[in-house]
A and B are shown apart, each in its own frame.
Chain A
Amino acid sequence: MKRYSAFAIAREAFRQHKGWERAWANPEPKKAYDVVIIGAGGHGLATAYYLGKNFGITNVAIIEKGWLGGGNTGRNTTIIRSNYLQDPSAAIYEKARSLYEGLSQDLNYNIMFSPRGVLMLAQTEHEVRGYKRTAQANSLQGVTTEFINAQQVKKICPIMNIDGPRYPVLGGLWQARGGTARHDAVAWGYARACSDMGMHILQKTEVTGVTQEGGNVTGVETSRGHIGCNKLGIVVAGHSSVVADMAGFRLPLESVPLQALVSEPIKPCMDIVVMANTVHGYMSQSDKGEMVIGGGTDSFNGYHQRGSFHHLEETVRALIETFPMIARLKMLRHWGGIVDVTGDRSPILSKTPLGGCFINSGWGTGGFKAIPGSGWGFAELMAKGHSPLTAEFGLDRFREGRFIDESVAAGVAH
């Protein structure tokens, strides 16, 4: 793999950019691999990357039914933060956030990590108390956050109206080192590094069945034939229940559409990420100048990648009170992704009832921020059978009642 650098850009400028190579290969599937990962989203690709980098396991295939990064990874609003309430969450999200800081260098791929600061608005007394509590928990966890008052909020984000009649801004939970990254680039950067290690990324290859013998996984049926493996990682977000069904077990998950929308590009007006959880809306400004807005999920199960229109209406209507200027913005596009939600709003990184088969799912509405940490921990779990990062996120927590309850901590978990 030729490294990307300022020198490479200069070199290519002198030869009509004819020397750039393909970022990843498009190989024919082999009969079998040591490890097969289903799903080339951020979590699947990161898992493969750390399997190779941290454990030297490179006889790996990542199987993707569409194109890599075309699932939720390519549809999300890219908020990165680690200000969670519960200790196991803070540990894995903070691991991810700190890996994001050095990821462009590590992958030799500019993922445009922008630690611009994330502000979670407190717009009810209940939220004020909740976020103060989270700030205390974060300081014990070694995650830097602080609770700031309404005047400080106004100073950080001048376009905000802090004394709206229905939802006045009472303060906020501020994580200065949170931010955003370029979602596609995260998938592309990991994919390029995986391909460089000799791993096979098999796009347009749908997994249609899981084969097993004597309680252990032996491979997967795909639209391009049977592919054998010793270990299988299911990392398919909204389709987790569908693939788990092929492997013969049920999951504590429900799949629902989550939507987002972007406006026409405007001049820079907001250089932080703002989340308003009471009204289920959040917003940031992309480098192109578009206001990126995310809303709530549908209340009922769905795989229709669209979502109910009234959710967009509700989100925008509520945000207008706090951001009066968006009332006159034209919205350009909106879309949805299918997110997999657990009862305690925490992910599942776990062994499964099928031997050699592991699952990484349940990231729901907020897994982009976790990609590097999740890949790191899940690779360790798959390689060694145990990882301190994932230990609390097993499927057994539902039977044992050890929930990692983030639903009380944040109504919206993006």
Chain B
Amino acid sequence: MLTLNCPYCGLDKDETELAYGGEAHLKRFGPGSTDEDFESYIFGRENPKGVHFERWRCASGCTKWFHAARCTVTMEVFGTYSAQTFEPPKAIKDAISKKRPGWTWRNFS
């Protein structure tokens, strides 16, 4: 069972108490954007085998959305952080680099 720490209420939550929100840090493209951008935003996914950034909701807790950095192979959690950001904070990136030197994900590394 996956356990994540909600950065808002500070509690450790089991996956059954959380709701998954898919890939994190998507840049939204709406009406007026090109077909390519719209398609890539709605459907294109990183789906990496390894380091991943994703959105979770503290569904049966404080109900807030937050971010998590996780390895999709080992299920290791590198950290959770606020939803009010466009990219993972430095502390999270450093935590990942310690365990997965040379990692990249979209434009982050």
| A interface residues (Cβ-Cβ under 8 A, vs B) | 239, 241-242, 250-255, 299-304, 308-310, 343, 398-399
How distant is B76 from chain A, measured CB to nearest CB, in Å? 10
Contact of A299 among B20, B35, B44, B49 (CB under 8 A): B20
A304 and B75 form a contact (CB under 8 A): yes
Q: Which residues of A contact B72 (CB under 8 A)?
A: 255, 301-304
Contacts between chains A and B (CB distance < 8 A), count: 63
A301 to B36, CA, bound (A): 24
A254 and B1 form a contact (CB under 8 A): no
Contact of B49 among A239, A300, A309, A399 (CB under 8 A): A239
Q: A302-B72, A304-B74 are in contact. List 5 more A-B contacts (CB 8 A).
A: A241-B49, A250-B44, A254-B47, A255-B47, A300-B20
A252 and B46 form a contact (CB under 8 A): no
A301 and B47 form a contact (CB under 8 A): yes
Counting CB contacts under 8 A, is B45 at the interface? Answer: yes
Residues A250 and B45 in contact in the complex (CB < 8 Å), given A301-B54, A398-B39: yes
Q: Which residues of A contact B75 (CB under 8 A)?
A: 302, 304
| B interface residues (Cβ-Cβ under 8 A, vs A) | 1-2, 15-16, 19-20, 22, 35-36, 39-40, 42-49, 52, 54, 72-75
Contact of B1 among A250, A251, A301, A310 (CB under 8 A): A310
A398 to B43, CA, bound (A): 7
Residues A251 and B44 in contact in the complex (CB < 8 Å), given A301-B72, A308-B2, A310-B1: yes
B35 and A399 form a contact (CB under 8 A): yes
Name, among B20, B43, B74, the residue most crowded by chain A CB atoms within 10 Å (CB to CB). Answer: B43
A251 and B35 form a contact (CB under 8 A): no
Q: List 21 A-B contacts (CB under 8 A).
A: A241-B46, A241-B47, A242-B48, A250-B40, A251-B47, A252-B43, A252-B45, A254-B47, A255-B49, A302-B73, A303-B49, A303-B72, A304-B72, A304-B75, A308-B1, A310-B1, A310-B15, A310-B16, A398-B39, A398-B42, A399-B36
Q: Which residues of A contact B73 (CB under 8 A)?
A: 302-304
How distant is A245 from chain B, measured CB to nearest CB, in Å? 8
How distant is B23 from chain A, measured CB to nearest CB, in Å? 8
A399 to B43, CA, bound (A): 9
Q: Which residue of B lies closest to A300 (CB)?
A: B20
How distant is B104 from chain A, measured CB to nearest CB, in Å? 11
Q: Which residues of A contact B2 (CB under 8 A)?
A: 300, 308
A50 to B8, CA, bound (A): 56
Q: Which residues of A contact B15 (CB under 8 A)?
A: 299-300, 308, 310
Residues A254 and B45 in contact in the complex (CB < 8 Å), given A302-B75, A308-B2, A308-B15: yes
Q: Which residue of B lies closest to A302 (CB)?
A: B72
Q: Which residues of A contact B74 (CB under 8 A)?
A: 304
Residues A300 and B45 in contact in the complex (CB < 8 Å), given A250-B40, A308-B1, A310-B1: no
How distant is A160 from chain B, measured CB to nearest CB, in Å? 29
Q: Which residue of A lies closest to B35 (CB)?
A: A399
Q: Which residue of A lies closest to B44 (CB)?
A: A250
B45 and A399 form a contact (CB under 8 A): no
